[in-house]
Amino acid sequence: MAKVEGGCLCGAVSYKSESDPVVTAVCHCKDCQKHSGFAFGLYVAVPKGSFEIKGKELKTFEGKGGSGQSQNYFHRTFCGSCGSSVYAAIETTPDLLFVHAGTLDDTTWVKPDVQVWTGRQLPCVNVPDGNKFDGNLPTE
């Protein structure tokens, strides 16, 4: 089992999940690019009910996902002190939380299962053909 445990940059927030990740995904949508300040977002999805969070209350930013489709409404949570993005919740996958992989204590096991919105990837990013997927992520 991969260890899904981590926290924000300043240490005010920590989290853990005892469940195995449902999927590890890279998202190339414009929204994730802007949110991460990088070429993509890297997420480890866990069942919502397995996620335990401690510490300072998180803040939330809400909006449509990078696809611009209304069904992709998201809730991005972050530490109000240091601004670290902790997880995202997407209304089309209500039973999952997408933990920002960079906040994990141990990232040595993180390897993407899938890469989504690859049509919007930056030219400097190479995605293996067998790893591209522009459909819906698993819901369980």
pLDDT surpassing 50 at residue 140: no
HSE of 104, CA atoms in CB hemisphere, 13 A = 22
Cα separation, 122 vs 29, whole angstroms: 10
HSE of 41, CA atoms in CB hemisphere, 13 A = 24
DSSP, collapsed to helix, strand or coil, labels residue 109 as coil
Q: Determine, yes or no, domain membership for 12.
A: yes
- Contact indicator for 15, 7 with CB cutoff of 8 Å: yes
> Residue 69 sits in which domain range?
4-121
Q: Determine, yes or no, domain membership for 75.
A: yes
Q: Determine, yes or no, domain membership for 78.
A: yes
Whole-model pTM?
0.83
Looking at the 3D structure of the chain, how many domains does it have?
Answer: 1
Q: Determine, yes or no, domain membership for 55.
A: yes
Q: What is the DSSP letter of 50?
A: G
Q: Determine, yes or no, domain membership for 128.
A: no
Cα separation, 15 vs 4, whole angstroms: 8
User: For residue 23, with 0-12 CB atoms within 10 Å meaning exposed, 13-18 middle and 19 or more buried, which class applies?
Assistant: middle
Q: Determine, yes or no, domain membership for 38.
A: yes
Tell me what pLDDT residue 19 has.
Answer: 94
CATH number, residue 35: 3.90.1590.10
pLDDT band at residue 3, thresholds of 50, 70 and 90?
confident
Mean pLDDT of 74-91: 93
> Within a 10 A sphere around the Cβ of 114, how many other Cβ atoms?
17
pLDDT digit string (tens) for 7-54? 999 999 999 999 999 999 998 888 888 888 888 889 999 999 999 999
Q: Determine, yes or no, domain membership for 130.
A: no
Q: Determine, yes or no, domain membership for 71.
A: yes
